[in-house]
Amino acid sequence: MIDPTAAATPDPTRSVLVLVDYQARLLPAIADGAQVLDQALALARLARTLGIPVIGTEENPAKLGPNVDSLRALCDETLTKMHFDACGDGLLARLAAHRPGPAPRDVVMAGCEAHVCLLQTALGVLRGGDRVWLVSAACGSRRVDDQALAMTRLQQAGAVCVNLDMLAFEWMRTCEHPQFRAVLAQVKAR
């Protein structure tokens, strides 16, 4: 288990955003699915503004369909997976390709069926030696209790829960950041 205090803030030069299974056929079954998707889109736009790589995953897209088009368009790549833990389908190698060098990377994550695919993928990333930051408002499950339990379990495993504003300002670190005004406009627009 990684000590969450070992990384007080995510390092933007070591960060990758992973968005797990925002599939169009799945989202209508997710509690508050529209709000969860809105948060995920805001998160992806923030990452793109700050030059943070974005990886999406799709669980068995032949059966469940692709991710929502608007989110898929914000991803640098989309990993097709059959394992609930995307690490079983090569996610760790993709993280290393986007941020070469030794672990740990700061892997910011959000996703659907938080208590299944997001949970197992985040646990796999932690086992791989990277740090995990969860944007809980962009995570969803069919039942609200399942999402809450997933967040609790992941925090106990060493993941850190953050909100979008925390992440935005921690990634920038200063009001002198070249993208400060653009990010501030995104924060205010929400």
Burial class (CB in 10 A: 0-12, 13-18, 19+), 142: middle
- The reported pLDDT for the residue numbered 8 is 76
CA 57, chain centre distance (Å)? 10
CATH assignment at residue 125 = 3.40.50.850
Q: How far apart are CA 12 and CA 173, in angstroms?
A: 9
Beta bridge partners of 120: none
Please provide the average confidence, as pLDDT, over all residues in the chain. 94
Over residues 93-109, the pLDDT tens digits come to 999 999 998 879 999 99
Range 79-86 average pLDDT: 98
Look at residue 138 and tell me if it is in a domain. Answer: yes
Look at residue 1 and tell me if it is in a domain. Answer: no
| DSSP 8-state class, residue 14 | T
Question: pTM here?
Answer: 0.94
Look at residue 111 and tell me if it is in a domain. Answer: yes
Q: How far apart are CA 12 and CA 52, in angstroms?
A: 7
Q: Are 105 and 99 in contact (CB under 8 A)?
A: yes
Look at residue 156 and tell me if it is in a domain. Answer: yes
Look at residue 179 and tell me if it is in a domain. Answer: yes
Look at residue 6 and tell me if it is in a domain. Answer: no
Range 33-41 average pLDDT: 97
98, amino acid identity: H
Q: Does the pLDDT value for residue 174 go beyond 70?
A: yes
Look at residue 4 and tell me if it is in a domain. Answer: no
- The reported pLDDT for the residue numbered 5 is 45
Look at residue 7 and tell me if it is in a domain. Answer: no
Q: How many CB atoms lie within 10 A of CB 139?
A: 28
Over residues 115-170, the pLDDT tens digits come to 999 999 999 999 999 999 999 999 999 999 999 999 999 999 999 999 999 999 99
How many structural domains compose the chain?
1
Structural domain that includes position 56:
12-189
